[in-house]
Amino acid sequence: MIRQLQNAGPTVKIILGALLVLICASMAITLIPGGIGSSLGIGAPPAGVLATIGDQQVTVPEVQREARAMIRQQFPRGGPQASMLLPYFAGQAAEQLINEKTLVAEARHLGLRVSDDELRDELQHGQLGPMLFPDGKFIGQEEYENFVQRNDLTVPQFEALEKDFVLVRELRALVASSAFVGDTEVRDEFNRRNTKVKFEYAVVTQADILKGLHPAEAELRAYYERNKAAYNNSIPEKRQIKYVVVDNAKIAAAATATDQDLQAYYDQHRDEYRVPEQVKVSHILIKTPLPTPGAKEDEKAVADARVKAEGVLKELKAGGDFAKLAGKYSDDPGSAKSGGELGWIGRGRTVPEFEKAAFSLGKGQTSDLIKSTYGFHIIRVEDKHDAHLKTLPDVKSEIEEKVKQQKTARAAEAAANALLSQARTDGFDKAAAAKDQTAITTDFFSRTDNLPGLTANPQFMEAVFNEAEKAPPDVVQVPQGYVVFQLLAIKPPATPTFEEIRSRVESEFKNERAAFLLHQKTQELSDRAKAAHDLKKAAKDLGATVKTSELVLPDGQVPDLGSMTNASAIFALNPGEISGPITAGANGVVAHLLEKQAPTDQDFAEKKDQIRQSLLETKQNDLFGVFVTNLRKDMEKSNRLKVNQEEMKNLTRQTAQEGS
């Protein structure tokens, strides 16, 4: 499909990221209550298949690929956090793929279909055109395929996903079409969003209450005993090791690449340095209608396009400027604005008619009219490169770096294995000394601690904490090289005594007590203010600070109160009324409404369409969410959707191991 689309016709804006779009859409839909195990039973999908939806399957490799794509999107630089979250993302990816294929199955059941023309239109007018067609120029087939492969997809898989994406979008539009927003709803929502209030407010702070708390030793011990279950094994398992780091950087400094090394690498990888025949082309396209399946070509439209194209060709032959004529006449908007330039293309990347003409022309030559499924092309060859093999001098610096990296990797692995072998026979210290290495003996540490000379590395910690007592020395590969280590001792998880965590107990006791007293004092403040109809007097009696706000909207911010979303009760007051207690983080607040300012009719006239659209989108999302929830339940009940809970457990366990 992409080779049909990447032709001299309209520059196609291909959505190579449709998978990520589908992910976002699925996340916005709903994660189904009951989870992925709710349909496990007789007739569960076979091993390797997570779920079956009609004749479709969600396989374990699909979910693993999707989870890795989600990880890359959330953590483009990778790192330990990304690895630790792999099991979570595997579960998310599984739900999303099941949702997606459930929706695709229902769309097909309702008779919805996506034709090749619709797919072509989606690719042409999609969202990632700027990425694949920067400045309107296709990045090329090789880079396109690389882009798809970076998302763990093949081109056919991607294009199938594109059709599914369009299908789900059409289904969503069908379901959401019944959403309606009345005028009264719009006005009420407008008033809610745009009413302003001004108020005075008294603030009681938890920090002030904490200053006055001085618990007795007996109170703290009683608190510890009441909450002892929460402290069980709260001191994590700790381990002590002895280790040596075999550092790649030190080995790399001594790595060299001889001429023989470079020649050998070049000889073994010659195919990587072959440059295919290429032409740099510009074109002018006069489009003809794309024929629909089974229909005849629109002969009149084709004839009209031919006449127009012949006129453009005539202007060119009369000395017209190709770039200017492309900008004026070409129906390929992507290349027209750059004078018709398509850049360098290789064989097999355009439709046959276009390719044959482009590669038969000489540098600087312009073709006659070339007819393809997209219309009539006039092609100009700007430059040509014959197929050739890059010479060793051309790629020497690139190869030299690769050879050094390979030598470093082999030398580091050999050094680590040699150290490990000697440590297992002669003892760790003797082996380290023989290899002129410094062995480091640690204090007891937990999984989350960092060790000298090592960056945070979950794989290494996993190896250390899975090592059996009295095990021989072992080796683990880490980003900076290898670590040879020996487990010395283990401290199992423990429950701390009161004395060991007295400061923690005191802090938790005081925070809990302060939160209770804060609520109690704020309630008393509200009760006194209401009884006396005087917030200032009540605040003075209780030592609270009184402030006055500006006129503020429901999404505004007020000092010591924070976001007004935490104090929406104030908007329900009438001027002169006093609120109940309001919790604002570590503060307690009581408000006295001074003024309420309603928005004007003119404001409403300006914003009503925007608010109506916002409410409509919310209703459409809600409708579709309910639809998906009910669809999942119905398909599970009718056994059209079967989910393998055991495979899900295996998947998350395996995914976790992949990341460790």
CA 471, CA 578: separation in Å to the nearest integer? 70
Amino acid at 404: K
The pLDDT value recorded for residue 149 is 75
Pick from 253, 216, 91, 64: nearest CA to 152 = 64
Please tell me the distance from the alpha carbon of residue 437 to that of residue 249, in angstroms, as a whole number.
15
Quick check: helix, strand or coil at residue 612? Answer: helix
Q: Closest Cα partner for 646 from 7, 50, 5?
A: 50
Task: Give the model confidence (pLDDT) of 264-297 as tens digits.
Answer: 999 998 888 888 889 999 999 999 887 655 557 7
Q: What gap in Å lies between CA 316 and CA 326, rounded to an integer? A: 10
2-179+619-659: CATH topology is: Triger factor/SurA peptide-binding fold (1.10.4030)
3 state SS of 76: coil
Q: Which residue has the higher pLDDT, 421 or 156?
A: 421
DSSP 8-class letter at 471: P
Q: pLDDT band at residue 613, thresholds of 50, 70 and 90?
A: very high
- The answer to whether residue 27 scores a pLDDT higher than 60 is no
User: What is the residue-averaged pLDDT of the chain?
Assistant: 85
Chain CA centroid to CA 659, Å: 17
Give the pLDDT score at 653.
Answer: 59
How many angstroms separate the CA atoms of 323 and 343, rounded?
14
Cα–Cα dist 644/650, whole Å: 10
Does residue 441 carry a pLDDT above 70? Answer: yes
Cβ–Cβ < 8 Å for 98, 58: yes
Segment 584-589 mean pLDDT: 94
Mean pLDDT, residues 77-96: 72
When pLDDT is averaged across residues 303-313 and rounded to a whole number, the result is 94
Compute the distance between CA of residue 291 and CA of residue 305 in angstroms, rounded to an integer. 14
Please state whether the predicted TM-score (pTM) of the whole model is above 0.85: no
Average of pLDDT values for 425-446? 93
User: Rounded mean pLDDT of 88-94?
Assistant: 84
Looking at residues 175-196, what average pLDDT do you find? 93
3-state secondary structure of 650: helix
**What pLDDT digit, counting tens, does each position of 46-70 carry?**
777 888 888 888 888 888 888 887 8
Residue with tokens 């069908």: 174
Report the alpha-carbon distance of residue 240 to residue 490 in Å, rounded: 6
- According to CATH, the topology of domain 277-386 is Chitinase A; domain 3 (3.10.50)
327-371 pLDDT tens trace: 999 998 878 888 999 888 888 778 889 989 999 999 999 999 999
Least confident stretch, 17-26, 66-75, 255-264, 565-574: 17-26
What are 80's two structure tokens? 């330990």
- 235 is written with which tokens? 């001191």
Tokens of 318: 């009369």
Is the confidence at residue 202, as pLDDT, over 50?
yes
| Residue boundaries of the structural domains of the chain | 2-179+619-659, 196-233+500-597, 238-262+393-491, 277-386
Rounded average pLDDT over 203-216 = 94
Give the tokens for residue 126: 């999609």
Residue 222, token pair as written in the block: 């009683």
Q: Give the least confident one: 61-65, 244-248, 430-434.
A: 61-65
**Which secondary-structure segment (H or E) carries 437?**
none
What is the number of other CB atoms lying within 10 angstroms of the CB of residue 131?
A: 14
**Is the CB of residue 349 less than 8 Å from the CB of residue 278?**
no
Q: Pick from 416, 407, 453: which is nearest to 435 by CA?
A: 416
DSSP state letters, 556-621: -EETTTEEGGGGGGGGGPPTT-B---EEETTEEEEEEEEEEEPPPHHHHHHHHHHHHHHHHHHHHH
pLDDT at position 29 is 34
Give the Cα separation of 36 and 175 in Å (integer). Answer: 24
**Residue 438 three-state SS:** coil
- Which helix (H) or strand (E) covers residue 515, if one does? helix 502-532
Residue 3 banded pLDDT, cuts 50, 70, 90: very low
The yes-or-no answer to whether 2-179+619-659 and 277-386 have a common fold is: no
Q: In angstroms, rounded to a whole number, what is the distance separating the alpha carbons of residues 539 and 273? A: 81
Nearest C-alpha neighbor of 246 from the set 398, 42, 432: 432
Q: How far apart are CA 138 and CA 13, in angstroms?
A: 8
Question: What distance lies between CA 237 and its chain's CA centroid?
Answer: 34
Give the other-Cβ count within 10 Å of 522's Cβ.
24
Instruction: Report d(CA 186, CA 318) in Å as an integer.
Output: 62
Beta bridge partners of 244: 484
